């Protein structure tokens, strides 16, 4: 037995045929840290680190041999990549396998913070899709909003709702991602503190919570829609047993996913319905503990009344879009308070449905505050993949970029490209945010709440 892993957990794992308890214990005792990133191809088509090695099941994922100080990399703040656990990137392979990559799908990421799986979903579902990214805890919903804004797409709605709120949208989503709150045993190598919090009682508590979350949200899937269920737990009660429970209580079919043998991902079967599941063990894969299963809804699902909603008169000045954004014809502008947002025109009616039943934190891209005469551009616009490419801009050195990201004073000599007015700060050709160039100084408009604080 391991000296520090919970004996009851190791005992249960050891009961599985062929489980290598010794290797499992050893990899936790060694405590190696695995660092991986996933690229935002809308902004960063190449790996920004010399030592990046591909994650085999995700074509935008890369392992790094050492963990850099991401806080000191301007490209991280620009949303060029997301630091994500490699095992979780398997969702990219799943989306391709079930035929949803680059489709006009409607997706819900129900337990989305901090945003790793949501940024993956929006990237792989593609620009024609619509993603609702939800987090029930308010403070975590704020982090989620920041990360999704940094990613730069406009086809995202961030919400702050209990899962039960989505029962008001029956038969709406093509894919439901539930990365369920769990007992966290899969993170023991990465987070030793989680070991002290683990218990069989907590596993049971998490299992009950997972059932509640699923029971309140499965109705949102269309007939033949897909549920992607995942945890970072090793316990059957939170994994295969939950999949069995879904198939017992609801009409779902298990969906097998093709694996490459050299990935060393373990395919499992649930005890009652022989449903497929996929387990990632850190002594077998280069990643942390993870479980995922895919199920397809086969019940006939009724939907809500989709009669056309009367669109209220839009007071947003649509002519302003041409001055600041690309693809104006693909977007509608709308006012939220004093701010102008853009949102995919094809999903305008969908947004109105959401506004009736959900608490929305962010919809589309906030491009700036409208004063009645001019637009004061937002940080979200600077991060947007839809921003106009020929706006005034200055590429800066790494030192100047870090000064900007700390919201420090900037020297006017570092901005020779712009004589006056709004100017994008760029690092290696990627937008970081805004300054305003005045005759004798530079005003730094980087948001105070996300500035680099201590490094």
How does 218-252 read in b/e, with b if 16+ C-beta sit within 10 Å? bbbbbeebbbbbbbbbbbbbbbbbbbbbbbeebeb
Q: Are 324 and 381 in contact (CB under 8 A)?
A: yes
Hey, which bits of 270-401 come out as E strands? 276-280, 290-297, 331-336, 339-344, 360-363, 365-370, 375-377, 393-395
179 annotated binding-site participant: yes
Q: pLDDT tens digits for 236-246?
A: 999 999 999 99
Number of domains observed in the structure of the chain: 1
The CA distance from 323 to 421, in Å, is 14
Q: pLDDT tens digits for 258-294?
A: 999 999 999 999 999 999 999 999 999 999 999 999 9
Look at residue 268 and tell me if it is in a domain. Answer: no
Q: Are 96 and 103 in contact (CB under 8 A)?
A: no
Q: What is the pTM of this model?
A: 0.96
Tell me the Ramachandran region of residue 171: left when phi exceeds 0, alpha when psi lies from -120 to 50, beta otherwise.
left
The CA distance from 6 to 202, in Å, is 13
The CA distance from 170 to 380, in Å, is 31
- How remote is the C-alpha of 361 from its chain's centroid? 15
Look at residue 450 and tell me if it is in a domain. Answer: yes
What DSSP element (H or E) covers 442? strand 442-444
Look at residue 445 and tell me if it is in a domain. Answer: yes
Look at residue 243 and tell me if it is in a domain. Answer: no
**What's the pLDDT score for residue 308?**
73
224 annotated binding-site participant: no
List the domain range (segments joined by +) for residue 398.
Answer: 392-455
Look at residue 67 and tell me if it is in a domain. Answer: no
Using CB atoms within 10 Å of the CB of residue 421, give its burial: 0 to 12 exposed, 13 to 18 middle, 19+ buried.
exposed
**What's the pLDDT score for residue 1?**
40
204 annotated binding-site participant: no
Q: pLDDT tens digits for 12-34?
A: 999 998 999 999 999 999 988 89
**What's the pLDDT score for residue 305?**
85
Q: Among all residues, which ones are annotated catalytic?
A: 232
Return the CATH number at 409: 3.10.450.720
Q: Which residues of the chain have pLDDT under 70?
A: 1-3, 311-312, 455
């Amino acid at each position: 037995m391991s000296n520090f892993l919970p004996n009851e957990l190791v005992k249960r794992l050891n009961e599985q045929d062929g489980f290598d308890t010794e290797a499992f214990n050893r990899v936790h005792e060694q405590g190696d840290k695995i660092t991986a990133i996933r690229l935002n191809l809308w902004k960063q088509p190449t790996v920004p680190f010399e030592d990046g090695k591909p994650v085999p099941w995700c074509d935008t994922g890369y392992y790094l041999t050492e963990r850099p100080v991401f806080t000191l990399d301007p490209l991280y703040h620009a949303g060029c990549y997301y630091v994500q656990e490699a095992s979780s990137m398997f969702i990219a392979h799943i989306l391709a396998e079930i035929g949803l990559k680059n489709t006009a799908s409607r997706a819900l990421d129900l337990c989305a913070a901090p945003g790793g799986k949501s940024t993956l979903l929006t990237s792989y579902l593609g620009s024609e899709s619509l993603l609702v990214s939800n987090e029930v805890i308010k403070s975590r919903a704020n982090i989620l909003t920041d990360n999704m804004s940094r990613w730069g797409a406009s086809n995202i709605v961030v919400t702050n709702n209990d899962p039960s709120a989505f029962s008001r949208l029956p038969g709406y989503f093509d894919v439901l991602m539930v990365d369920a709150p769990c007992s966290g045993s899969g993170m023991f190598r990465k987070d030793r503190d989680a070991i002290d919090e683990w218990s069989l009682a907590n596993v049971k508590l998490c299992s009950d919570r997972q059932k509640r979350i699923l029971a309140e949200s499965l109705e949102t899937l269309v007939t033949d829609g897909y549920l992607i269920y995942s945890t970072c737990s090793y316990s059957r009660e939170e994994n295969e047993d939950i999949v069995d429970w879904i198939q017992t209580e609801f009409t779902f079919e298990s969906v097998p996913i093709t694996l490459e043998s050299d990935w060393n991902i373990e395919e499992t079967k649930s005890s009652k319905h022989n449903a497929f599941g996929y387990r990632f063990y850190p002594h077998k894969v280069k990643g942390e503990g993870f479980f995922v299963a895919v199920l397809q809804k086969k019940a006939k699902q009724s939907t809500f009344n989709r009669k056309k909603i009367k669109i209220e008169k839009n007071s947003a000045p649509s002519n302003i879009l041409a001055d600041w954004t690309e693809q104006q014809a693909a977007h509608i502008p709308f006012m939220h308070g004093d701010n102008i947002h853009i949102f995919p025109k094809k999903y305008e009616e969908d947004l109105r449905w959401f506004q009736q039943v959900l608490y929305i934190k962010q919809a589309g891209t906030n491009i700036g505050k409208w004063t009645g005469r001019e637009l004061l551009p937002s940080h979200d616009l600077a991060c947007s993949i839809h921003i106009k490419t020929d706006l005034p801009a200055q590429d800066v050195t790494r030192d100047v970029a870090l000064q900007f990201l700390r919201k420090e004073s900037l020297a006017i000599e570092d901005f020779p490209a712009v004589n006056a007015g709004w100017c994008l700060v760029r690092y290696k050709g990627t937008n970081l945010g805004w300054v305003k160039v005045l005759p004798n100084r530079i005003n730094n408009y980087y948001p105070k709440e996300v500035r680099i604080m201590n490094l």
